[in-house]
Every structure is written in C-alpha cells, then in structure tokens.
Chains A and B, each alone.
With several copies, the nearest count.
Chain A
C-alpha cells in the first residue's frame, strides 16, 4: 500500500483534475444501473430533480422506472429497501441528509442489520448518507452518524475520502450481500477533484496509508483525511516531522492491522474524527490499538473529535467545532513532544 493522495481540494485544483467526489457517486450509480438489473434508486427528490445534491441528476431519464421519488418517509424508505433486497434487488436509498436517517434508524439497525444473523438470508441494501459538516448547515444538516451504525452488528459502514474511493466503494457496497451504510461527505462533493475514478484496488475492510511518515500516525477517515494531510504537510514544512496518515476507508469492518503496522513504525497515534466525542470511531481505534499494540507506543495515544455540542449553525462556531488542519497540528505537536 503505497502513498496515495493525488487528489486535491478546492483552490489547489489543477487543469486535469476534472472529476469530483460527487461525480464519482453519480458515475457509480449510473454504471450500477446500467450493468445490474437488480439495482434501483429510492429517495426523496431523486428523479426529475436529481436529488438535493444532484447526485442522481439525469439518471431517471436514462433508467426510466428505476429511480423513484419517495414520500418523506425515511422509515418506509429503509423498510422498502429491506423488502426489495429480500426479493433479489439491490436497492440504493438516498437519505436527503444523514441526519434524517435517524427516522430510519430502527429499520436499519433492527431490521436490516439483524436479518442475516437471525434467518441466514442476507439483506443487500445500500443507504447513501450525505454526511458531515459544511459552513452554515447547522445541527440537523451536518451530522456524522458512522459511529451510531457501526455500533450495531451486521452493518458495513464505509466512509470514502477520495474520489476514487467514492466510486469504487459505492460499486462494491452494492455488490456486498450485507447492508452497507455509505457515508459520503458533503464537504467533499464539489471541492474534491481528481483526474479520474481509478482506485488502487483496495476493497472494503482495508485501510490505506495515504501519506507515509515515521514520527507519528494520524488515523482518519472521510473529510478528516484531507485535514490530516494538510496538517502533515504543514508540520513537514515547518519542522520536518514526517507524519503518516492512515485513511480507514471503512469504519466497520475496521482494518486495525494496517493501523497497528503504522504505529509499529511511528510509535505514536492520533485518531481524528468529525463525529461527536463520546465513543465512536476514534475510541474504537484507540482502544484496539492499545489492546494489541500497547508495546508499540512511545506516547499516550490521542484523540481529536468534534466538540460535545450539537453542530453549530454559524460558520465561525462551526469552524471551531470540528477538527481542522490547525487543531490537528496542535494535537500532533503535543503528541510529538511527549
């Protein structure tokens, strides 16, 4: 797994960086619909309108009858997907925002997630959750719910951070027999660009070393990978520290082996997540690392999460609520100075 981060965010885009993260999501659905008759899309405003973020734009015309507008009924949307999956389909459900999946919570964690274990019959559905914060979105359009779903047995939770992953992991998600919660980050939709959708062949369940380094490991996922890379670049420029960045890619299953291998090289770990601080991905990562790699550590492992309040509406508050490259830098300096 070599370094892999030839993508770039806003402002630094080059001429040949022509496809965006949301393009990748769109293309994956188009390819899936074209190649697999079992696939259909269900969600609010996804047909004529093309979805709140235009991820499905044009698909209802290309695939008539297979891109369906749903009522404002998240519970039923998920329940319909369960039933359709049981009858051999591969539904992709778009939640208008991840935050609204709270209404579908029961169907996801109690119906879809338990089904294979209980009955031996799999429920291959994919839920797309437009996740994470953007300026001005406030408490109900900014949430990161990966930790909630990952807590439950039976659901796969993926958190693509690159354009290529957005594409390949959605295709893979739909082809997996288990229910997959696909957390797509709204901040990355149009700002993250790449040359194309080609990935590096990793599959769900495998983390990636996004950036190699030897002094400390940052474990991140989704938008935070880019904040971590920025922080790493700054520390390198400013003080010559070499920070390794691990992109978890999927938070369940969690590829702790790759994380441990990195910590074996660096001796230091900072886990970064955009979700609320209690529990969640960073806690799971740290507690697995110390269970299996205690002896590898030269310093107390650190975490950096969002603050323990709802996501504030005002951009000035929001910018201080979630981790950023600056706060990651600060944490890393503390970690390195131990």
Chain B
C-alpha cells in the first residue's frame, strides 16, 4: 500500500512530460502496484507514469528519456514515453496504438511454452480510442483463444486526442466488448483510488489464478490536453465540472486519510520525498552526456556479422 502511494505521488510530481497521465494516476498506479516486477510483463502506454513507477521503473529512466541522455536504456534513439526495459518485463511501446496487446500476449505464450506461466500476469493499458484499432481486436482475441493471463486496462477518458467517444464507438459501454471476446469484464470509477486498487487488484488476481484474460474499463476524464501542446478546448465545461472531472489524487488523499491508512503529515512527507527523488533524477540526467552522432553505431542489426560489408 505504501508502494502504491509512493508511485501515486511520484506520478503526480513528475516533470517535463509531454504526454501526461493527469486524471489517470489512480488507475495506472493501481495496475503498476498490482503487478510483480521481475515476474510479470507490463506494457505501459503514454499516460502510465504512475504505473511505471509502481512497477519499479527507476525515475532515472524517465528523466534520461525525457532529457535525451545518452545513458539509460534508450540512449537518445527513442524517447520519453517509448522507453522500456523489455529484458526485464517492461515493454518499450511503439507509437502505433494497440500493437502492445498481442506483444504482451506473445510474452505470456512464451512463458507457457517454457512452463513458467504459473502465477504470471501480463498487463497493458489502452485508451478508448485505441480500442478501435484492429491490433487491439486481433491481440485480445488471440489472447482469449489461448486463455492467457492478460489484463487489459481500458482507460476510457472520454476523448482520444480531441475525438469524443461518440465518434469512437457506438456501444453503450466499452465493457460490453468483454463478452464478445469471451474475457471477464470489470468496471471501475477511475477517479476512485480505492476502487481502482480493489477492482484492478481483483482482475490481476483473477488472471494470475488462471481465470484467463481480464478487461477492466475505467471511466474517467483526461485532465489535461492530449499532449502539452493541446489546451483541450474541445472538452465541454460541463464535462470538466462533472463527477469524472475530479482529481483522483485529491480523492486518494482524502480516502487514505479517512480510512486511517495515512495521515496528512505522512502524505506530505511522501510528497516531499517523491519530489526530491524526482529532482535528483533530473539533476543527474541533466549532467549526463547527450548522444553523439559520431559515437553512434548506426546499426539496426543485433547480429554483427550481418552488417553490410562485414562478410
């Protein structure tokens, strides 16, 4: 639980993001902390800073990716939200939405073939918009056929970039899709931190226990633009003022205090600690060398002897 909080707060404080997870921290943190680093597979999406931290990502990875450090896993070759440590179970997303669903499923299939699937979960997050991709459909369906322990968290934040859900899907609720894939569906209010922890925790446990793929639909609102360049003028004031317009971080704070899990002082201490850790990571990354085109290998093959001119 402290883990959850910590990731939650760190997420709220992270700097420099181009694509922010504002409004989605509760969902993301709940997922990240329900997963087991070193065992599970996790493919975060653009708004999953909280989940990354919860899954144990070093803040330095984030700072390095955003600041373009030559160190760190991406070495300036790919940036920010695309970062990952695939060898350690955290996939490095490509931009093409939906592509991660089958990749996580494939990772789980591998575990099954290796006889190492017991107690393992693979998870990925996806937006309302990305449910319209063929990749999402093919990936989830294939995972369902294989009955793999895949958890797909659909963050239905009412918009895909500027496109409202009325232009994205025609079903009453994305949860209605679960039955069509033969996967278990879970609904949750994405602004309610404790509910997220419970529902997503349940879904992850169901998958871990052999219940096959799980689909969680979290209802919420993106509390920022699509990217930092976007002022989200297209989000109606009425929507912002509605239930899902509330800040899940504030909700979480209140919930934790009311439940007696943490005091306001403890929360503030966490916040300060998280801010310091972020500062430290940023400061370190800032002093690191930038990528140097003359040092760069410019080599897309892992197999050295295949480099042109190598034979």
> Do A and B bind?
yes
**Interface residues, chain A, with chain B CB atoms under 8 Å away:** 40, 44-45, 48-49, 52, 65-66, 68-89, 91, 97, 99-100, 102-103, 106-107, 110-111, 113-122, 124, 136, 138-141, 153-154, 156, 176-178, 203-206, 253-255, 257, 307-310, 312-317, 319-321
CB of A288 to closest CB in B, whole Å: 10
Residue pair A84, B129 in contact (C-beta under 8 Å): no
**Given contact pairs A71-B145, A76-B142, A102-B96, a sample of 20 additional A-B residue pairs in the complex whose CB atoms are under 8 Å apart:** A45-B163, A48-B162, A52-B161, A71-B168, A72-B130, A72-B168, A73-B141, A82-B106, A83-B91, A84-B110, A85-B110, A86-B86, A86-B103, A87-B114, A117-B299, A153-B300, A156-B301, A177-B303, A310-B78, A314-B76
Which chain B residue shows the least CB distance to A70?
A: B142
| Closest-CB distance, A228 to chain B (whole angstroms) | 21
A-side contacts of B163, CB under 8 Å:
44-45, 49, 69, 71-72
Interface hub of A72, A82, A106 (most chain B Cβ within 10 A):
A72
Give Cα distance in the complex from A238 to B168, angstroms: 57
Contact between chains at A73 and B96 (CB < 8 Å): no
A76 surroundings in chain B (CB, below 8 A): 101-102, 105, 135, 138-139, 141-142
Cβ-based interface call for B87 (8 A): yes
CB-defined contacts of A320 to chain B, threshold 8 Å:
293-294, 296
A120–B273 Cα gap in the complex (Å)? 32
Chain B residues with Cβ below 8 Å from A176 are 303, 306
A69 to B163, CA, bound (A): 7
A138-B306 in contact (CB<8A): no
Mark B123-156 against chain A: 1 for CB-CB distance below 8 A, else 0. 0000001101111001101100110000000000
In angstroms, Cα B109 to Cα A35, docked, is 20
Task: Flag whether B172 is at the interface (Cβ < 8 A).
Answer: no
Distance between B310 CB and nearest chain A CB, rounded to angstroms: 7
A86 touches B107 (CB 8 A): yes
**A314 and B139 form a contact (CB under 8 A):** no
Residues of B within 8 A of A313 (CB): 68, 74, 76-80, 82
- Chain B residues positioned under 8 Å from A102 (CB to CB): 96
Please judge, given known A-B contacts A79-B102, A81-B106, A87-B110, whether A111 and B94 are in contact too, CB under 8 Å.
yes
CB-defined contacts of A73 to chain B, threshold 8 Å: 102, 132-134, 138-139, 141-142
How many Å from the CB of A274 to the closest CB on chain B? 16
Pick 26 A–B contacts, CB within 8 A, sort by A: A48-B162, A70-B142, A71-B138, A71-B167, A72-B163, A82-B103, A83-B104, A84-B110, A86-B103, A86-B110, A87-B41, A87-B114, A103-B133, A111-B94, A116-B301, A118-B92, A119-B84, A138-B82, A139-B77, A156-B303, A205-B306, A308-B300, A309-B300, A313-B74, A315-B68, A317-B76
Closest 4 CB pairs of A and B: A83-B106, A79-B102, A320-B293, A314-B76
Judging by beta carbons under 8 Å apart, are A140 and B306 in contact?
Answer: no
B194 CB-CB contact with A under 8 Å: no
Residues in B with CB closer than 8 Å to A204 are 306
Q: Which residues of A contact B291 (CB under 8 A)?
A: 312, 314, 316-317
Instruction: Decide if B134 touches A83 in the complex (CB within 8 Å).
Output: no
Contact A178 B306 (CB under 8 A): yes
Cβ-based interface call for B175 (8 A): no
**B307 interface residue per 8 A CB criterion:** yes
- A99 to B106, alpha carbons, bound, how many Å? 23
In the complex formed, the residue of A with least CB distance to B99 is A111
Residue from A49, A72, A113, A136 in contact with B133 in the complex, judged by beta carbons closer than 8 Å? A72
- Which chain B residues numbered 62 to 102 have a C-beta less than 8 Å away from chain A? 68, 73-80, 82, 84-87, 91-92, 94-97, 99-102
- Evaluate contact between B311 and A255: CB separation under 8 angstroms: yes
Given contacts A76-B102, A307-B298, A313-B78, A115 and B135 within 8 Å (CB-CB): no
Contacts of B167 in A (CB 8 A): 69-71
Name the distance in Å between B112's Cβ and chain A's nearest Cβ: 9
Contact residues in B for A206 (Cβ distance below 8 Å): 311
Given contacts A138-B79, A257-B311, contact A83 B103 (CB under 8 A): yes
